[in-house]
Amino acid sequence: MSDKKSKIKEEPAWGERNAVTGYYPQYRVSAGLIIRGLRAENLRWVAVADPQAQRVDDFQIATDNRLDAYHFKWSRYPGNFTFNDLVKGDDSPAD
């Protein structure tokens, strides 16, 4: 049994499967926002993984009168965080 588990972890395709599984919720939310913009007929553009966006870089969507930017995070066992944790310039938690 342990040989089978270790073999699965060694196969390169499992890394890809794990990555896709992790991104699925992010893609689902992004797709929903795009569909909403298309139905409202006010979608201007979208960007995915924009390196110039810095901290809020996972997904951006522009409509006629606004730009929304998203940085997706989730966890099986989430902890608490504050708004300052999201906007603070470095990676250390806000006081």
**Domain spans of the chain, in order of start:** 2-86
> Of 80 and 5, which is predicted with more confidence?
80
Q: Is pLDDT of 60 > 90?
A: yes
Assign 12 a pLDDT band (cuts: 50, 70, 90): confident
φ and ψ at residue 34, rounded to 5 degrees: -65, -45
- Strand, helix or coil for residue 61: strand
Highest mean pLDDT among 9-13, 56-60, 66-70: 66-70
What is the number of other CB atoms lying within 10 angstroms of the CB of residue 79?
6
d(CA 66, CA 58): 17
Residues in Cβ contact with 84 at an 8 Å cutoff, skipping those fewer than 6 apart: 94, 95
Q: Model-level pTM? A: 0.62
> How does pLDDT run across 21-35, given as a tens digit for each residue?
778 888 999 999 999
Percent of the chain scored above 70 by pLDDT? 80
